[in-house]
Chains A and B, each alone.
Chain A
Amino acid sequence: MTFWGALLQNGAYQAVANTLFKSQRRQFWILASLPLFWIFFANLGPIVEMFWIGFLDSYPPKVGHEPQFTLANWAAFFQDRVFIIPFFRTLAFSFIFTAITLLITYPVAYFLAKHVSRKNQLLFLLLLLIPFWVGEIVRTYAIMILLGNNGAVNLALKSLGLIDRPIPFMYTGFSLGVGIIYLTALYMLLPLYSALEKLPDNYLEAAADLGAGAWTRFRRITLPLSKEGIASGCTLVFLISTGYYATPVLLGGPRSTVFAETIAGFFHVAGD
């Protein structure tokens, strides 16, 4: 007898299976058990816990002191410049970086989808994935080498005779932007590419046939039909770029402290 045959004919297995599959409803809940546990425990649990702690007057719990419910932490957050400035700076940075990423990658995605041969499109996407696979740290380090005072850009500018002294790119909003865009471009490019790739050429030809110029075609046809790609790309890039920690630490300067660094710093003081 084969393994599965033996299993199905096994009395103990049959008894268990009969209980498990007694009704459709029972089967559904057995199938749902682990996913629902995981979703509520591991996905939702930490977030809810974090919010809850935001309402406590002391954390971690101190001996002999029952934590009291309070709104003071939230008030402090909105009043204390140490928190609020990096918080809004992070939002502003992420917003700007997202916009710049969109402006850079839109033409790239369009050119890729419409003017590159099918075979080269795949090759390009494959090449694009290589830097993407490499983690945050390694890519950030690569940007440090590029932009450092003795970095490649300064060397190139110097040897062209454009500058005498190196330009201090590093530890500014600029270097941070270059780094963040380097890390997130793919999340913008892929949704844009897949939206534009689906856009049939004959829509544009039809529009041209009806007398629409290049700018009108872009504004009236291409842009509305790639709206979904733009929306999902921007959402992804915005969310992801707010979450980096190592990149701002390594590339950003004192005037570009982001929220991640602030909470991390605060957390290391208070948390442990």
Chain B
Amino acid sequence: MTGEKDTIVHIDNVTKRFGNVVAVDQLDMKIMAGEFVTFLGPSGCGKSTTLRMLGGFENPSEGRIVLDGVDVTSQPPNRRDVNMVFQDYALFPHMTVGQNVSFGLELKGKSRPEIERRMAELLDFLQLSGFRDRTPDQLSGGQRQRVALARALAPDPKLLLLDEPLGALDAKLRGQVQIELKDIQKRTGKTFFFVTHDQEEALTMSDRIVVMNAGRVEQSGTPEDLYFRPESRFVAEFIGETNLINGTVRGVEENAVVLDWNGLSVRGSGHGHRPAAGDNVTASLRLENVTCHNKKPANQNAVEGKVISKLFKGSRTSLDIRVGEREDSIIRAIWTLAMLPKLPMISSGLAGSRNV
């Protein structure tokens, strides 16, 4: 996180309804200056509506939006110091790259030399100097994305909104652009409000991720928090791949919770939660935390199991392992090819997090 820890945006108890549908439900959140915050969630979860309310394209049904201390709730997009990178980039097809980037500066009433200077500076910054006189249809997807970014950065907004800007890129390019984008954010020190449904994107770039579901915030925290310490079943399932274990609490120890899962004893970290014995809880066991051995090791969490199917995925193989007696006690594990064990086998692991 760069910059000072001032609140730049306060989403103050905002609700948005479309007819009877509640798109965003009493969202209350502060965004710090210089933060790269990502709203993550499935389509229809309210993340895009939140972004559009920040941009001024939708009016909240209730609540306020405060930008740098000023209530902008009812201000139209052209009056806000907020700029946006659109999902389809929305570059103006009849203007050159240079004209696209100057557009916002021009309308702000800047003088010609100033527009020139700032435009050249941004094109240089985003390695677009050679493309100044091209039109958008003469650019590649990655170049267009950078032009859209340059255009949105040009008026020097207090908040930059990015609406799934990597969705239109192919998988290979996406990884590279993620790094670039994070780097640009660091160098400019701008506050980025990023919206995506791609959890990998969110994990790679964000200072903070806000997971939304059905108009509400499920969890907000650093990528590590969300990955290792999900607060809800939804977050555990949505971020990364995981095994969800529904069990009954047998006992609580100092650093661990012991579960009874279909007659097997499993111990895991409670991450601060201290459920009572007899509670029904769900634990999350990350795929990569399952290790396989040919002989049962002397580990408290080791259970015997049988590989019932394997799926080759190139650099790794995913295994479905049945543990214990019951048909539905199945754990999925990720294994690198070289270590592919022989059958039968024993699996062991550590349960990650839990949820009541």
List chain A positions with a Cβ less than 8 A from chain B.
1-2, 4-6, 8-9, 21
User: Given the complex, which residues of A lie within 8 Å of B108, measured CB to CB?
Assistant: 5
Given contacts A2-B115, A8-B107, A9-B109, could you give 16 more A-B pairs where the C-beta distance is less than 8 Å?
Answer: A1-B109, A1-B110, A1-B111, A1-B112, A2-B106, A2-B112, A4-B106, A4-B107, A5-B106, A5-B107, A5-B108, A5-B109, A5-B110, A6-B109, A8-B109, A21-B76
- Taking the nearest CB of chain A, how far is it from the CB of B79, in angstroms? 11
Closest residue on chain B to residue A24 by CB atoms: B59
Looking at the assembled complex, report how far the CB atom of B148 sits from the nearest CB atom of chain A, in whole angstroms: 21
**19 interchain pairs, CB-CB under 8 A:** A1-B109, A1-B110, A1-B111, A1-B112, A2-B106, A2-B112, A2-B115, A4-B106, A4-B107, A5-B106, A5-B107, A5-B108, A5-B109, A5-B110, A6-B109, A8-B107, A8-B109, A9-B109, A21-B76
For the complex formed, measure the closest distance between the CB of B59 and the CB atoms of chain A, giving whole angstroms. Answer: 9
| In the complex, chain B residues whose CB is within 8 Å of the CB of A1 | 109-112
User: Bound complex: CA of A6 vs CA of B108, how far in Å?
Assistant: 9
Shortest Cβ distance from residue B18 to the other chain A in the assembled complex, whole angstroms: 16
User: Which residues of A lie under 8 Å from residue B110 when comparing CB positions?
Assistant: 1, 5
Q: How far does the Cβ of B98 sit from chain A's closest Cβ, in whole Å?
A: 13
List chain B residues, Cβ under 8 A from A8.
107, 109
Which residues of chain A are within 8 angstroms of B76 by Cβ–Cβ distance?
Answer: 21
Considering the chains assembled together, what is the distance between the CA atoms of A271 and B27 in angstroms?
A: 71
How many chain B residues touch A (CB < 8 A): the figure is 9
Min CB gap A15→B, angstroms:
15
Residues on A with C-beta less than 8 A from B112 are: 1-2
Show the binding face of B for A, using Cβ within 8 Å.
Answer: 76, 106-112, 115
Q: How far is the CA of A21 from the CA of B112 in the complex (A)?
A: 28
**CA gap between A8 and B108 in the complex, in Å:** 8
CB distance from A18 to the nearest CB of B (A): 11
Q: Nearest-CB distance from A217 to chain B (Å)?
A: 43
| Interchain CA distance A145-B139 in the complex, whole Å | 57
Q: In whole Å, how far is B319's beta carbon from the nearest beta carbon of chain A?
A: 44
Docked CA distance A238–B119 (Å): 59
List the count of A-B residue pairs having beta carbons below 8 Å apart: 19
* Alpha-carbon gap, A4 to B103, bound state (A): 10
**A residues in contact with B106, CB < 8 Å:** 2, 4-5
CB distance from A9 to the nearest CB of B (A): 4
CA A78 to CA B236, docked complex, whole Å: 82
CA gap between A2 and B115 in the complex, in Å: 10
Which A residues lie within 8 Å of B115 (CB)?
Answer: 2
Q: Bound complex: CA of A8 vs CA of B103, how far in Å? A: 13
Bound Cα distance A8, B79 (Å): 11
CB proximity of B80 to chain A, nearest CB, Å: 14
Contacts of B109 in A (CB 8 A): 1, 5-6, 8-9
The minimal Cβ–Cβ distance linking A181 to chain B, given in whole angstroms, is 43
Q: What's the Cα separation between A2 and B110 when bound, in Å? A: 8
Minimal Cβ-Cβ distance residue in A for B112: A2
**Least Cβ–Cβ distance between B72 and chain A, in angstroms:** 16
- Tell me how far the C-beta of B185 lies from the nearest C-beta in chain A, rounded to whole angstroms: 28
Closest 6 CB pairs of A and B: A9-B109, A5-B109, A2-B106, A5-B106, A1-B109, A8-B107
Chain B residues in 8 Å Cβ range of A9: 109
The distance in angstroms between the C-alpha atoms of A5 and B108, with both chains bound, is: 6
Give bound CA distance, A69 to B112, whole Å: 69
Q: Which of A5, A6, A8, A21 has the most CB of B within 10 A?
A: A5
* Complex Cα gap A1–B110 (Å): 6
Q: How far is the CA of A2 from the CA of B99 in the complex (A)?
A: 12
Bound-complex Cα distance A8 to B76 (A): 14
Chain A residue at minimal CB-CB distance from B108 = A5
CA gap between A21 and B56 in the complex, in Å:
15
Residues of B with C-beta under 8 A to A2: 106, 112, 115
Q: How far is the CA of A108 from the CA of B288 in the complex (A)?
A: 68
Question: Would you give the shortest CB distance from A233 to chain B, in whole angstroms?
Answer: 35
Q: Which B residues touch A21, using CB under 8 A?
A: 76
Q: Give CA–CA (A2, B112) in the complex, Å.
A: 7
- The docked-state distance in angstroms from the alpha carbon of A197 to that of B106 is 47
Per the bound structure, the CA–CA distance linking A2 and B106 in Å amounts to 6
Which B residue sits closest to A9, measured CB to CB? Answer: B109
In the bound complex, how far is the Cα of B1 from the Cα of A185, in angstroms?
71
Nearest B-chain residue to A10, judged by Cβ: B109
Residue on B nearest A21 in the bound complex, by CB: B76
Q: CA–CA, A6 to B110, complex, Å?
A: 9
Q: A residues within 8 A CB of B107?
A: 4-5, 8
Cα distance A1–B111 when bound, in Å? 4
A4 CA / B110 CA spacing, docked (Å): 11
Among B107, B108, B109, B111: residue with most chain A CB under 10 A = B109
Q: Which of A2, A4, A21 has the most B CB atoms < 10 Å from its CB?
A: A2
Which residue from chain A places its CB closest to the CB of B76 in the assembled complex? Answer: A21
Chain B residues within an 8 Å CB radius of A5: 106-110
What is the chain A residue whose CB lies nearest that of B105? A5
Nearest CB on B from A50, distance (A): 44
Residue of A with least CB distance to B114: A1
Minimal beta-carbon separation of A5 from chain B (angstroms)? 4
Task: Output the nearest chain A residue to B59 by Cβ-Cβ distance.
Answer: A24
**Whole-angstrom CA separation of A1 from B107 in the bound complex:** 9
Nearest-Cβ distance from residue B325 to partner chain A, whole angstroms? 53
Cα A5 to Cα B115 with chains together (Å): 11
How far apart are A21's CB and chain B's nearest CB, in angstroms?
8
Measured CB to CB, the nearest residue on chain A to B103 is A4
Residues of chain B with a CB closer than 8 A to A6's CB:
109
Alpha-carbon distance between A9 and B76 when the two chains are bound, in angstroms? 16
Return the chain B residue nearest A2 by Cβ. Answer: B106
A28 to chain B, nearest CB (A): 15
Q: Please, how many angstroms separate the alpha-carbon atoms of A1 and B109 in the complex?
A: 6
- Give A5's nearest chain B residue, CB to CB: B109
